[in-house]
Amino acid sequence: MRFDGLAISPDEYEQVAGSLARARASIPQQGGGYLSPTGAFTVAGASWAAARGADALVLEEGLGGRSDEVSLFDPQVAVVTKVFYEHGEQLGPTLDDVARDLLGVVGPATRTIVTVPQDDVVTAIVEETAARFGAELVTVTADSPAPAPAGLAPITRLNAVAGEAAGRALASALGWRIDDSQARATLAGVRVPGRLSRHQVGDVHVMVDGAISPDGVAATVAAYLRWHGHLDTVVASFPDTKDVDACFAELRGFQRVIPARADSYLTFAKAEILHEEVLDARTALALGLATARAMTGGCLIVGTQSYVGIALDTLNAETETAYIRPAT
């Protein structure tokens, strides 16, 4: 939860949590309704941003789109990053089902859909959705011109270009004028801990990334190899809800692979079959850093966002500021 790039303060967070608790208590319980953690953050964050007078709200889908709390909003601009098969037990047994649920956030108010190159089945659904609501469809690639910072990994630059295109589309819809020099200055200072972020722990070089698909993990490994030079130690957390076998297969080049579990409500049976033992996240991270230190090497940390959060906390990483808005 951020406002102009700065994370919510602990005091504000406690106030928002209290407001959410009171709101939940005031609603009569009916049936088996469930407010997910992601949904709670979405609803509470939107309320907090509105109270602070936000001009625009940026929301990320949680598990899906139509089946997620973000479907309560009717966005003017929707961004579709690379869609892959995930959460099939909730969203449906095929990539088509997953894509249709994710695109369920698009509504009558949507003027622009920004997408990246997709599988054919996903492309067809994106095009169909844009046509149904009369939205402009903008497809960007990693090579599309944009003032994204230099030196980004291809998959990171692709997402950065998509975000920048969406920002321009939203500004146009709101009648705003963009100062290109300020946009470049802001984008040059964007920090995204946990997205191919680099850290130093004594003599150990550490990279942290929230990749959770085989393609994402492969891109992470490639970025780590370009930066560090060789594949030594990796601490990875992939629960059974992910394509565990394929994700771990992308780590086969590492000398030491340490599997980790991050959440008690998730199961890691597939990882246990592959590696016999899955350590709790903090134990696994401590072992990974100690191993890297003994090998005079580096450590890659990759997995789910909840796991990445634990890793960044372990590393004492600064996560409060995503970007600084230039003075006007």
At 321 the three-state DSSP class reads strand
Tell me the Ramachandran region of residue 327: left when phi exceeds 0, alpha when psi lies from -120 to 50, beta otherwise: beta
Element (H, E) at 270: helix 269-275
Both structure tokens of 328 = 């006007």
Query: Where, residue-wise, is CATH 3.40.1190.10 in the chain?
Result: 58-188
Amino acid found at 63: L
Amino acid found at 180: D
Name which of 211, 199, 220 is nearest 292 in CA terms. Answer: 199
Name which of 194, 213, 211 is nearest 86 in CA terms. Answer: 213
Query: Where, residue-wise, is CATH 3.90.190.20 in the chain?
Result: 195-314
Yes or no: say if 145 and 181 are a contact pair by the CB < 8 Å rule: no
* Per-residue confidence (pLDDT) for residue 86, from 0 to 100: 72
Strand ranges inside the chain, DSSP E: 2-3, 6-7, 77-80, 112-115, 136-139, 195-201, 204-209, 233-237, 256-261, 279-280, 298-303
Q: Tell me which of 3.40.1190.10, 3.30.420.40, 1.10.4080.10, 3.40.50.2300 is the CATH number of domain 58-188.
A: 3.40.1190.10
Amino acid found at 228: H
Query: Locate tokens 């139509």: which residue?
Result: 66
pLDDT in tens, 188-232: 888 889 999 999 999 999 999 999 999 899 999 999 999 999 999
Q: What is the CATH number of domain 195-314?
A: 3.90.190.20
Assess whether pLDDT exceeds 90 at residue 325. Answer: no
Yes or no: say if 322 and 178 are a contact pair by the CB < 8 Å rule: no
Yes or no: say if 101 and 91 are a contact pair by the CB < 8 Å rule: yes
- How, if at all, do strands 6-7 and 2-3 pair? antiparallel
Assess whether pLDDT exceeds 70 at residue 88. Answer: no
Sign for the CA dihedral angle at 277, 282, 286, 292 comes to: positive
pLDDT in tens, 260-311: 999 888 899 999 999 999 999 999 999 999 999 998 889 999 999 999 999 9
Assess whether pLDDT exceeds 90 at residue 45. Answer: yes
Amino acid found at 248: F
pLDDT in tens, 174-193: 999 998 888 888 888 888 89
Geometric angle at alpha carbon 157, from 115 and 132, rounded to 5° = 5
Geometric angle at alpha carbon 145, from 144 and 147, rounded to 5° = 125
Give the CA dihedral 136, 140, 146, 151, nearest 10 degrees.
160
Local confidence band at 79 (pLDDT 50, 70, 90 cut-offs) = very high
Both structure tokens of 74 = 């009717």
Yes or no: say if 269 and 259 are a contact pair by the CB < 8 Å rule: no
d(CA 47, CA 19): 10
Span between the terminal Cα atoms of the chain, in Å: 24
Q: What is the pTM of this model?
A: 0.85
Yes or no: say if 194 and 318 are a contact pair by the CB < 8 Å rule: no
